[in-house]
Structure 1
Amino acid sequence: MPQFDPSVFAPQIVWLALVFALLYLVVARSLPKVERAVEDRRARIAADLAAAERARAEANAAATGRTAELGDARAAAQKLLSEARARADAAVRARLAEAEAALGARTSEAEAALSRARAEAIAALDEVAAEAAAEMVGKVAGLEVSVEEARAAVRKVAA
């Protein structure tokens, strides 16, 4: 193998030094560009992270504001709903009171009419009972009883 031949060590060392020097120069010149690219990328990532953090903070603030607005809107809706319920309840109570008053008046009128009808029926019943009693006494006993006497007898028995 030619690499292990001691007569060619010197040229190999020279070539090694030349190639090493050439690679060193290439790397030395390109390394700052790579470092700059890495630093630029780091800076861009940091800026993007900062922008994302700001956007998240703004979104949280907006969400908090929307939540507060939503709460206010719900409270206003609840207030309107309770006011509407109160008005509806008052209207229903008023109509119920009117209906109860009308029913009470009709009930009073009906009771009065019923009392009058009962009194008339009882008066007519007394009259019919007196006439029937007078007739029965005449047929059964053969006596003539006047309607006035029969009425007096019916009143006496009914009392």
Structure 2
Amino acid sequence: MAMKRIPIALCLVVAACGGEDSEPVAWKDMSFEQRYAYMEEVVTPQMSETFAAFDPKFEGMSCPTCHGAGATDGSYAMPSAEVPPLPDTPDAFLEYAMDPEVGRWADWMYNTVVPQMADLLQVERFDPTTETGEFSCNNCHTLTSVTP
């Protein structure tokens, strides 16, 4: 069964990304099937490489790494409650990020993961200075009023 899905997924990636004579389809305009194929064939391999380069424990990263149970039930809803939550105010986040290990991750996420995912999803990265843009930490992480 998986052998049959791969060629279909590859066809959807070609359709989603565009062939020689067509324009790429934007993430927001992709069907669920196109998004699934794009995530499987483009996003997951690239983000797996990015995460594993930062922390080897992410080698073998797969859909549940980010989507949690949503990868099993087929909803793929984001943000995921299974990704560690972040403080919901700038002051609380700055306090949270004072921990050196949290700060290391926050810096890497902000400077590497957020721009890469924004590019892959063809959306503008959120700019905290202008408060414009679509993709930021809370696209993957839930926010909480209690410091994690």
Give TM-score scaled by structure 2 length: 0.21
The structure with the largest helix share of the pair is 1
Q: Pick the structure with greater CA Rg.
A: 1
